Structure 1
Amino acid sequence: MDIASFVPVADAIPVHWFWLQSLLTATTFLHLVAMNVLLGSGIIALVIMFRRGEAARPLSCAVAESLPYSMALTVNLGVAPLLFVQVLYGQFFYTSSVLMAKLWFVVFALLLIAYSLLYLHKVGMGTSRTSLTFLTIAVLMLLVISFIFANNISLMQLPENWLRYFDQRAGWLITKGDPVFLPRLFHFLASAVAMGGLAIAVYFEFRRRRGDGDTDQWIRLGSTWFALTTGINFGIGFWFLGRIPSNLIDLSHPVGQLYAALILVSIPVAIVSVIRAMSGKIYPAAGWALTAVLLMTIARDCLRLEYLKPYFSLDILPQRAQYLPMVLFLLLFVGALYLTVWMIKLLHTSQEVQS
């Protein structure tokens, strides 16, 4: 059976694919950073609160205050990359989403419930047993959402798995036979915990520079979590690379060459970020870590193209020039980023006044 015949015809795009792919990469990067901070800081706070109890109150209160905002930021920053992936890879993404439609709809329900639980956790300021229960359930729901997203990505990139629909037509299709599924999922989760630890260190470093003296132990704690999970993630990353089919990455092709170069560059960048964090240079560590995330985001896009190469290339997308929607999006995107930064500053100011 010819699998390519199941791939729908690509829709026309309004501008050259390079601009849409660049925006997909940029918005995905922003979404991943927010998502990692949300899930990672939630996991760390949960572990520390179970271990230290009331002694972890400064950390638990800080994380409890931030989680609802992180959730809102993650969801809103996830809209743009979702739209761009539909524009460029819609024939694959729509199909995979339909094949696992019931699972995909579960995501929205879990998001709403988790969002509500994070607010309830905030009301309890993260210390009561009930508040911890709310956070535990919310984190578990976010982990389930991570699994569902990873499943959709796998189905999207492996059209040969679509044929299993004829045996499982109920809309609960789970990826099968993808050797990188588990390494990819664990790589994401370790990255989330690492970035969550770094976010905690950055937050308390910010407070230290504002004159708060009770911050050093939390800066060290965040930096330690960042360093340890990044080290673990190196092992997971090599596991992930080792599970990629040997014939997938074509080093004679520009995309394969770019992917290899990005991986090679991202490793020392991540190492530098860990060294900076453990040396107490938190802001530079954050800069290096964000650079590593950006490099890995671009590498992720390259790997997607390599997976889809037997069925698709960006060069074959038909184009019908319509530049006004692109200009409007860019203006609104810049305006939204400005408003987001302004709201974050306003939030910090209000918290300082309350304290």
Structure 2
Amino acid sequence: MNPFELIPTPDPIPAPGMMFRVLLDIFFMIHILLVNMMVGTGVIALISGLKKRDALPLQKDVARKLPVIVALAVNMGVAPLLVIQLLYGQFIYVSSTLMAVFWILAVGLLILAYTNIYYHKMRFDILSTGFRRFFLGSAVLMLLIIGFTLSNNMTLMLNPASWPSYFDRPDGFLLNLKDRTLFPRYLHFMIASIAIGGLFIAIVWTFKKKTGRTEDGPSTVDQNIRLGMGWFTGATLAQILVGFWFQMSLPEEILNLFMGSSLLHTAVFIFGIGLVIQTVYYGITVNVRAAAVSVTLLIADMILIRDLVRTAYLNPYFTIRDLTVIQQTGPMLMFWVVLATVLTLIFYLLRRLTSAKKSAPPPKG
């Protein structure tokens, strides 16, 4: 069957496509940073609790912050999802339908994971060690499953040639397991989560050290900074291997774009390699601030590469230039006003939360 026959006609958009493409990358970067913090800190706190007897201050600190991070990650995920539906709706709606059962289950898993994370925070002091591990571990497991579901959907939407598999499995249980890029892509995101989670832990405890909030003892603060940077550096080094696997799994015609056949693709890729080397160096030398700046630039570069790869995958079927633009000034003006209002409110709430924590007296005991 010709895959072109399975691709729906795209809807018109209310403004130039390139504007939404830039917004997609910006929104996705904010979202993925929060997701990485969410998954990474959960994994690190869980493993540290299994390996170290003195990990309680770290676990408690992560337990306090996780509910807020999850809420922000979910809410900031709405914007990129809406924009990708606007630009690539004819692809993502089909892929979501093909794996409809898993896609809907992801929502339920997210609700259950958040419930466990919130309960883990509220009952942390009275839960036994075993129950703490259960609630945090089950939440982390569900988040990892959700990530695998998302990776399936994002790869399935890029490959209309695999859509005829629906006629063999029209029950909504279709997964994109035959795609060579699925597993390295998924691991690339999950290992990145551990790296960013480790860096976030190092940033938090560095802030505690600078503001004098060392109620857990100076040695504990320094230990958690080193622990966070250790996870960050190790995961970043692992990313080099997984990233190479991911790169080699790409179709040859797309891989060649980054190997010299396209100046833009190759330049972005080489710039990323330089940032990886720089980031690893800052991780090894435990330079928290420089590592944070470097990895932020690296993530921005990786998101641009992701955008270029998506464009190359869909190029035989569609380009954003193909979309019909029907200018709608009123709705777009409302969009910008609402966006500015929401971002202002989020910034205000985060400032209030931070100032409240600064003014609160250190916990006793």
TM range (shorter): over 0.9
CA–CA distance in 1 between the matches of 2:118 and 2:320? 42
Q: CA RMSD in A?
A: 1.9
CA–CA distance in 2 between the matches of 1:350 and 1:277? 31
User: Does the alignment pair 1:15 with 2:15?
Assistant: yes
Give the count of matched residue pairs: 354
TM-score normalised by length of structure 2: 0.93
Could you tell me whether the CA contact under 8 Å between 1:190 and 1:232 is conserved in 2? yes
User: Does the alignment pair 1:182 with 2:183?
Assistant: yes
Could you tell me whether the CA contact under 8 Å between 2:40 and 2:197 is conserved in 1? yes
Which of 336, 339, 346 is 1:333 aligned to? 339
% identical equivalent positions: 35
Partner of 1:263: 269
Which 4+ stretches in 1 moved above 4 angstroms?
Answer: 252-256
Partner of 1:85: 84
CA–CA distance in 2 between the matches of 1:43 and 1:82? 25
Partner of 1:101: 100
Partner of 1:24: 24
Offset, 1:115: 0.4
Partner of 1:49: 49
What amino acid sits opposite 1:149 in the alignment?
L
User: Does the alignment pair 1:2 with 2:35?
Assistant: no
Give per-residue Cα distances to partners, 1:229-250, cap 9 Å, x unaligned.
1001101001111111112346
Partner of 1:191: 192
User: Does the alignment pair 1:204 with 2:205?
Assistant: yes
Partner of 2:152: 151
What amino acid sits opposite 1:50 in the alignment?
L
Partner of 1:64: 63
Could you tell me whether the CA contact under 8 Å between 2:258 and 2:269 is conserved in 1? no
User: Equivalent residue of 2:254, what SS?
Assistant: coil
User: Does the alignment pair 1:316 with 2:316?
Assistant: no
Give per-residue Cα distances to partners, 1:114-168, cap 9 Å, x unaligned.
0000011112337732122100000000000001000001110001111000000
User: Equivalent residue of 1:248, what SS?
Assistant: helix
Offset, 1:102: 0.8
Could you tell me whether the CA contact under 8 Å between 2:91 and 2:157 is conserved in 1? yes
Which of 295, 303, 308 is 1:297 aligned to? 303
Which stretch has the larger CA shift, 327-336 or 100-109? 327-336
What is the 5 A alignment of 1:218-233?
218-233=224-239
CA–CA distance in 2 between the matches of 1:256 and 1:99? 34
What amino acid sits opposite 2:96 in the alignment?
S
Change (3 A) 1:252 1:134: closer
What amino acid sits opposite 2:301 in the alignment?
L
What amino acid sits opposite 1:154 in the alignment?
T
CA–CA distance in 2 between the matches of 1:338 and 1:280? 33
CA–CA distance in 1 between the matches of 2:273 and 2:349? 34
TM-score normalised by length of structure 1: 0.95
Change (3 A) 1:18 1:255: farther
Offset, 1:304: 0.5
CA–CA distance in 2 between the matches of 1:112 and 1:13? 32
Could you tell me whether the CA contact under 8 Å between 1:107 and 1:148 is conserved in 2? yes
Offset, 1:227: 0.3
User: Equivalent residue of 1:251, what SS?
Assistant: helix
Change (3 A) 1:223 1:211: same
Could you tell me whether the CA contact under 8 Å between 2:260 and 2:266 is conserved in 1? no
What amino acid sits opposite 1:28 in the alignment?
F
Which of 347, 350, 353 is 2:353 aligned to? 347
Q: Which runs of 5+ in 1 are unaligned?
A: none
